[in-house]
Amino acid sequence: MQRQNILRVFLFVVFFSIGTAALAGSVLYDDLLRYYRNEQLLRSAEKTLKQLESLNADYDALLKQLEENPGLLKRIAPATLGTEPNDANTVYPKVTAEQLDAARKVLAKDLEQQQSKAEVPDWITRCSEPSRRIILFLAGGFLILISFICFGTAKQGPCKQ
**Which helix (H) or strand (E) segment is 63 a member of?**
helix 29-68
What's the structural domain count of the chain?
A: 1
- Identify whether 158 is part of a domain: no
Between CA 91 and CA 93 the distance in angstroms is 7
In this predicted model, what pLDDT tens digit does every residue of 79-88 receive, in sequence order? 677 676 666 6
In this predicted model, what pLDDT tens digit does every residue of 123-148 receive, in sequence order? 888 888 889 999 999 999 999 999 98
Band the pLDDT of 7: cuts 50, 70, 90.
confident
Backbone angles phi, psi at 143, to 5 degrees: -65, -40
| Containing structural domain, residue 147 | 2-151
- Identify whether 63 is part of a domain: yes
Distance of CA 124 to the CA centre of its chain: 13
- Identify whether 159 is part of a domain: no
In this predicted model, what pLDDT tens digit does every residue of 36-93 receive, in sequence order? 889 888 988 998 999 999 999 998 998 898 888 878 777 777 667 767 666 667 666 6
CA angle 126, 132, 136 (to 5 degrees): 105
- Identify whether 160 is part of a domain: no
- Identify whether 17 is part of a domain: yes
Write down the pLDDT at residue 101.
Answer: 85
Per 3-state DSSP, the chain is made up of helix, strand and coil in percentages (nearest 5) of 80, 0, 20
- Identify whether 161 is part of a domain: no
